[in-house]
Amino acid sequence: MPPPDEWTDYELGSLIGIRDELLEGDRRALYIIWLTSRLMLGTDDEEEDMEMLAVPPVPPAFGTLTMAQQALAELLQVPQTLLLAAARHSSAAKPAPEDDVVAWVERLPQERRSDYLLRLAHNEPGLSRLLVKELRALNQGKASAAPEMGQ
């Protein structure tokens, strides 16, 4: 795929959501970028043909791209037919686990709760993700019932 002949103005604000999606483990934007790299490299060389055999798996829910992912595909000029072909090899989205965050926070030691509150007051970036990660690790394998008395 040759580069465009002229510069196109584009509103990059539509791509802001990709950062959060990547931090949450959504790899669909990375797959769009990989598709673009394949288009740009072409397959004229036998070595590149061999490299094409190492195709990464299509991420789940590729058939339902977010608005930010659609904007990325548009910016990178990925043909819609290629996106649709990749989507046919994508599994359905896995439902998010039901997190009983209220019970999890109750299990968090008081000093950790205070620490998170202080960090929140200082607007620490990414704190929400860190808290949820710690809560999940702390409560892995535990039932989501309310904590027993004395805990």
Residue 127 lies in a domain: yes
Q: Tell whether 77 and 16 lie within a shared domain.
A: yes
**In this predicted structure, what is the pLDDT of residue 59?**
93
**Number of domain units in the chain:** 2
Q: Is the pLDDT of residue 68 over 60?
A: yes
Q: Is the pLDDT of residue 144 over 50?
A: no
Three-state secondary structure readout of the chain:
CCCCCCCCCCCHHHHCHHHHHHHCCCCHHHHHHHHHHHHHHCCCCHHHHHHHCCCCCCCCCCCCCCHHHHHHHHHCCCCHHHHHHHHCCCCCCCCCCCCCHHHHHHHCCHHHHHHHHHHHHCCCCCHHHHHHHHHHHHCCCCCCCCCCCCC
Q: Is the pLDDT of residue 65 over 90?
A: yes
> Which one-letter amino acid corresponds to residue 54?
A
- Give the span between the Cα atoms of 32 and 39, in whole angstroms: 11
pTM check: above 0.85: no
Give the model confidence (pLDDT) of 103-130 as tens digits.
888 888 999 999 999 999 998 888 888 8
Q: Tell whether 45 and 76 lie within a shared domain.
A: yes
Q: Is the pLDDT of residue 146 over 50?
A: no
Sign of the dihedral through C-alpha 135, 138, 21, 87 = negative
Residue 6 lies in a domain: no
Q: Poorest-confidence range of 1-5, 10-14, 78-82, 122-126? A: 1-5
The residue out of 48, 66, 87 marking a domain boundary is 87
Give the model confidence (pLDDT) of 11-64 as tens digits.
778 888 898 888 878 999 999 999 998 888 775 555 555 555 578 899 999 999
What is the span of the domain harbouring residue 32?
A: 12-87
Angle of the 127-138 helix axis to the 110-121 helix axis, nearest 10? 170
